[in-house]
Structure 1
Amino acid sequence: MLRNCRRSAWSLVASVAVFSGTLTGTAQATPSGPVDLGTLPGDDSSTVLAVNEAGVMVGLSMAGRDPRHDHPVRWEANGGITALPTPGGSEGQVRDINENGVSAGYVLTATAAVPARWDAQGQATTLQVPPGYHNATAFAISDTDVVVGNWLTPSDEYHGFRWDPDGQVADLGVLPGDTWGMAEDISADGRVIVGVANRAGTGHAVRWVDGGPITELAPLSYSSGAHIVNDHGVAAGSMHETGSGPPIPATWDRDGTIHRLDWPSPHSVWVYGIGSTGYVVGYGYLNPPSPSAVIWDPDGHLTVLPDDGHYVDVEAVDGEGTAVGSLESRATVWPRNGARTQLGTLPGGNRSQAYRITDSGRVVGTATTAAGKDHAVYWTLG
Structure 2
Amino acid sequence: MAVLEPLPGNTFAVLTGLTDDGVAYGYSSPRRTSPVSTAVRWGLDGVPVALPIPPGALGTSLHGVAGRTAFGSATDTPGLDYPVRWDLTNTTVTVLDTTGFRFTSLQAANRRGEVIGGGLDNSSIIPVLRWNRSGHRDSLAPLPGQTQAAGYAINDSGTVVGTSSGYRSGDRPVRWSADGAVTELPTAPGTTFDIPHAINERGTIAGRGSTDDDNHWTRALIWVTT
TM range (shorter): 0.7 to 0.9
**Counterparts of 1:192 and 1:206 in 2: how far apart (Å)?**
11
- Aligned amino acid, residue 207 of structure 2: G
Question: Could you tell me how far 1:193 is from its partner in structure 2?
Answer: 1.3
The equivalent position to 2:9 in structure 1, one of 33, 42, 61, is: 42
Q: Which runs of 5+ in 1 are unaligned?
A: 1-32, 256-382
Question: Could you tell me how far 1:49 is from its partner in structure 2?
Answer: 0.9
CA offsets per residue over residues 190-213 of structure 1, 9 Å max, x none?
432111222336222222122332
CA offsets per residue over residues 162-214 of structure 1, 9 Å max, x none?
10012210011111222211111112x14321112223362222221223322
- Asked if 1:252 corresponds to 2:223, the answer is yes
Q: 5 Å matches for 1:354-365?
A: none
Question: Could you tell me how far 1:239 is from its partner in structure 2?
Answer: 2.6
Corresponding residue for residue 149 of structure 1: 117
- Between the two proteins, the alignment pairs up a number of residues equal to 219
**Counterparts of 2:224 and 2:45 in 1: how far apart (Å)?**
36
**Counterparts of 1:96 and 1:80 in 2: how far apart (Å)?**
19
Which range moves more in the overlay, 108-117 or 164-173?
Answer: 108-117
- Aligned amino acid, residue 70 of structure 2: S
Contact kept in structure 2, 1:186 and 1:233, CA below 8 Å: no
Question: Could you tell me how far 1:72 is from its partner in structure 2?
Answer: 1.4
The equivalent position to 2:180 in structure 1, one of 212, 215, 225, is: 212
Question: Could you tell me how far 1:144 is from its partner in structure 2?
Answer: 1.0
Question: Kindly tell me: are residues 142 and 190 of structure 1, through their superposed partners in 2, closer, same or farther at Cα, counting changes over 3 Å?
Answer: farther
Question: Could you tell me how far 1:243 is from its partner in structure 2?
Answer: 6.8
CA offsets per residue over residues 216-257 of structure 1, 9 Å max, x none?
2225864211122345543211235997886442111243xx
**Counterparts of 1:243 and 1:183 in 2: how far apart (Å)?**
26
Contact kept in structure 2, 1:146 and 1:190, CA below 8 Å: no
Corresponding residue for residue 139 of structure 1: 107
SS at match of 2:179: coil
Q: 5 Å matches for 1:19-30?
A: none
- Aligned amino acid, residue 40 of structure 1: L
Contact kept in structure 2, 1:181 and 1:198, CA below 8 Å: yes
Q: 5 Å matches for 1:35-74?
A: 35-74=2-41
Contact kept in structure 2, 1:185 and 1:228, CA below 8 Å: yes
Q: 5 Å matches for 1:191-270?
A: 191-199=158-166, 200=168, 202-218=170-186, 222-230=192-200, 232-239=202-209, 247-255=218-226
Contact kept in structure 2, 1:195 and 1:206, CA below 8 Å: yes
- Asked if 1:90 corresponds to 2:58, the answer is yes
Corresponding residue for residue 334 of structure 1: none
**Counterparts of 1:75 and 1:233 in 2: how far apart (Å)?**
32
**Counterparts of 2:158 and 2:47 in 1: how far apart (Å)?**
33
Contact kept in structure 2, 1:196 and 1:227, CA below 8 Å: no
**Counterparts of 2:131 and 2:74 in 1: how far apart (Å)?**
15
CA offsets per residue over residues 129-155 of structure 1, 9 Å max, x none?
122x11243232211111111111223
Q: Which runs of 5+ in 2 are unaligned?
A: none
What TM-score do you get using the length of structure 2 for normalisation?
A: 0.83
Greater RCO (CA < 8 Å, at least 6 residues apart)? 1
What TM-score do you get using the length of structure 1 for normalisation?
A: 0.52
Q: RMSD of aligned C-alpha atoms?
A: 2.6
Corresponding residue for residue 99 of structure 2: 130
Q: Percent identity?
A: 25
Contact kept in structure 2, 1:44 and 1:64, CA below 8 Å: yes
